[in-house]
Amino acid sequence: EAGVTQSPTHLIKTRGQQVTLRCSPISGHTSVYWYQQALGLGLQFLLWYDEGEERNRGNFPPRFSGRQFPNYSSELNVNALELEDSALYLCASSRSRIEQFFGPGTRLTVL
């Protein structure tokens, strides 16, 4: 069974730019979660999508947004990038709402 996949693996942007990160869940999983892992800060919950709808979001500004497509894949968009947005962005998928299966992450560097 293929795991959660994310693209790209690494990304370098400059302040003010916009970025789109992509996530493909495990087949059969309808929920996708996004997390930000900045250095030394642990995992911060960003967004939860289920059946195409945003179900919940963490304490992040509106410039962090996303969507989930009919095939349950998801995009995370970050507008007006700031230096502190540099982090590892992790996507997880779930079917049972008990376990979340995480992808390898996208490492974003903002210069």
Partner 1 sequence: DAKTTQPPSMDCAEGRAANLPCNHSTISGNEYVYWYRQIHSQGPQYIIHGLKNNETNEMASLIITEDRKSSTLILPHATLRDTAVYYCIVRVTATSGTYKYIFGTGTRLKVLA
Which residues are near partner 1 by CB under 8 A?
Answer: 4, 33, 35, 40-45, 48, 55-58, 90, 92, 97-105
Whichever of 18 and 38 has its CB closer to partner 1, that residue is 38
Q: How far is the CB of 16 from partner 1 (least distance, A)?
A: 29
Residue number with CB closer to partner 1 (42 or 70): 42
User: How many Cβ atoms sit within 10 Å of the Cβ of residue 88?
Assistant: 15
- Residue of 27, 33, 22, 30 whose CA lies nearest to 2: 27
Residue 29's identity, in one-letter code, is H
Task: List the one residue out of 5, 14, 58, 15 whose CA is nearest residue 36.
Answer: 58
Q: Is 16 helix (H, G, I), strand (E, B) or coil?
A: coil
Tell me the three state secondary structure of residue 83: helix
Minimum separation from the CB atom of position 79 to partner 1 (A) = 22
Q: Cβ of residue 90: shortest distance to partner 1, in angstroms?
A: 6
Instruction: For the CB of residue 70, give the shortest distance to partner 1 in the complex, in Å.
Output: 21
Instruction: Please say which residue, 41 or 80, places its beta carbon nearer to partner 1.
Output: 41
* Residue 85 three-state SS: helix
